[in-house]
């Protein structure tokens, strides 16, 4: 196994490469900041076309995790890893064990978890060679499916948006459009219905739509996301692919509130300001979808669903804080969220620096 260090100036603390010819492992770990604690973030297993594409992804994802973890109030910095390859063809027990040794070689600076292309059984294999892993099965002390708290956190963020927009932390009588009703979207749908709201959905997978119709025949269905964006809604909740808010969709979006679970909902920088200019309240995705990382972080302390849920409950307060800060400063909520996260990281780095200074 060979390790390499990345030397490009990106603002990251550390970027480490690993190549293990015996197993075929090619992996990169990015650590953006460990001011708040060890970097925590998932491992993405994906057939990147080039190494540069993999590097770009790990840099962006690890920075995003630093901001997400800071806002979530968990004692972790931002880290992320990518494994270059096709998980359906290249994944093996030997490769996963080699990857576990790579993670372990970082001495606890990075703690891994599931992401695209990896799952709980993979984390269980990795856990055989390192303790710096989460997203394990309950039999190994893991927290099980993080979708439960991801959906709950989005719902709590949505209630904070409702309070900011309409003066009451309630979705009673509100119409919510959910794009993507997989695990998280379906659970979010049930929270909205239980709170007295109505729901309209869309999904590219017919089986997901059929599941919703069977469980909740009162839910309306539209053909696609474009139809949902143009519908008369109170809240638009993107819960599938990123980039749904783009130059084509933002001008025609009718919902006055956007709050969903999908990552990277904004196709490019500047769209948050365009939404604000249109009077649309946008809840930053990495703020409201943090329930999943809260769930896995709790595994490191002997998993307790009640404790993890109580922390996810605070997404309401953080969302309220972000929206109030945005309103008082006259900036988009995404900018306000960034400022709060950055301040928390700076404060933590300052405390570390002070603690490291010799007395007298």
Which CATH number fits the domain that encloses residue 56? Answer: 3.40.50.10860
pLDDT at residue 270 above 70?
yes
Is 355 a residue whose pLDDT tops 70? no
Same domain, 217 and 276: yes
- Domain limits for position 207: 147-343
Dump pLDDT digits (tens) for 106-164: 999 999 999 889 999 999 999 999 999 999 999 999 997 889 999 999 999 999 999 99
pLDDT at 281 over 60: yes
Domain count, the chain: 2
Known binding residue 184? Answer is yes
Q: Is 355 part of any domain? A: no
Percent of the chain with pLDDT over 70: 95
In terms of domains, do 123 and 179 share one?
no
Active site residues: 80
Residues 199 and 316 in one domain: yes
78 assigned ligand-binding residue: no
Question: Is residue 103 located within the same domain as residue 158?
Answer: no
Burial bucket for residue 143 (CB in 10 Å: 0-12, 13-18, 19+): buried
* pLDDT for position 351: 85
Going by pLDDT thresholds of 50, 70 and 90, the confidence category of residue 263 is: confident
* pLDDT band, residue 5 (cuts 50/70/90): low
- Identify the pLDDT of residue 314: 97
Same domain, 92 and 57: yes
185 is in an annotated binding site: yes
Is residue 118 a part of any domain in this protein? Answer: yes
What's the pLDDT at 10? 76
Q: Are strands 43-46 and 175-179 parallel, antiparallel or unpaired?
A: unpaired
Are both 127 and 213 inside the same structural domain?
A: no
Query: Looking at the structure, do residues 30 and 128 belong to the same domain, yes or no?
Result: yes
Nearest-angstrom CA–CA distance, 14 and 109: 10
Strands 25-33 and 14-20, bridge-based pairing: antiparallel
183 marked as part of a ligand binding site: yes
CATH number for 190? 3.40.50.720
Give the model's pLDDT for residue 208. Answer: 94
244 is in an annotated binding site: no
Are 116 and 231 in the same domain? no
Of the candidates 230, 278, 287, 274, the residue with the CA atom closest to the CA atom of residue 256: 278
Are 58 and 170 members of one domain? Answer: no
**What pLDDT, on the 0 to 100 scale, is given for residue 177?**
98
Is residue 9 included in any domain, yes or no?
yes
Is residue 353 domain-resident? no
Residue pLDDT, tens place only, 20-44: 999 999 999 999 999 999 999 999 9
Instruction: Check if the beta carbon of residue 234 is closer than 8 Å to that of residue 174.
Output: yes
- The answer to whether residues 86 and 157 belong to one domain is no
């Amino acid at each position: 196994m060979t390790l390499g260090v990345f030397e490009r100036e990106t603002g990251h603390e550390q970027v480490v490469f690993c190549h293990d010819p015996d197993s075929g492992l090619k992996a990169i770990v990015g650590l953006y900041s460990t001011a708040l604690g060890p970097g925590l973030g998932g491992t993405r297993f994906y057939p990147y076309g080039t190494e540069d594409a993999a590097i770009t992804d790990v840099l962006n994802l690890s920075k995003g995790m630093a901001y997400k973890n800071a806002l979530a109030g968990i004692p972790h910095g931002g880290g992320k890893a990518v494994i270059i390859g096709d998980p359906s063809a290249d994944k093996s027990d030997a490769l996963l064990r080699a990857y576990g040794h790579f993670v372990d070689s970082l001495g606890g600076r990075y703690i891994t978890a599931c992401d695209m292309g990896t799952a709980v059984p993979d984390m269980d294999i990795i856990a055989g060679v390192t303790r710096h892993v989460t997203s394990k099965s309950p039999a190994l002390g893991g927290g099980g499916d993080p979708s439960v708290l991801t959906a709950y956190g989005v719902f709590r963020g949505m209630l904070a948006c409702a309070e900011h927009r309409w003066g009451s932390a309630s979705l009673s009588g509100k119409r919510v459009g959910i794009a993507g009703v997989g695990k998280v979207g379906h659970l979010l749908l049930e929270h909205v219905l239980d709170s007295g709201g109505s729901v309209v959905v869309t999904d590219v997978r017919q089986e997901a739509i059929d599941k919703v119709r069977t469980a909740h025949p009162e839910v309306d269905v539209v053909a696609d996301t474009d139809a949902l964006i143009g519908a008369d809604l109170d809240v638009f909740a993107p819960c599938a692919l990123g980039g749904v808010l783009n130059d084509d969709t933002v001008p025609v979006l009718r919902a006055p509130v956007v709050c969903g679970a999908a990552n990277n909902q904004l196709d490019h920088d500047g769209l948050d300001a365009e939404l604000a200019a249109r009077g649309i309240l946008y809840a930053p995705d990495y703020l409201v979808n943090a329930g999943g990382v809260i769930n896995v972080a709790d595994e490191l302390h002997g998993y307790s669903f009640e404790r993890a849920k109580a922390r996810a409950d605070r997404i309401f307060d953080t969302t309220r804080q972000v929206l109030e800060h945005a309103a008082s400063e006259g900036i988009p909520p995404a900018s306000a969220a960034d400022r709060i996260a950055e301040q928390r990281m700076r404060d933590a780095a300052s405390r570390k620096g002070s603690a490291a200074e010799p007395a007298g």
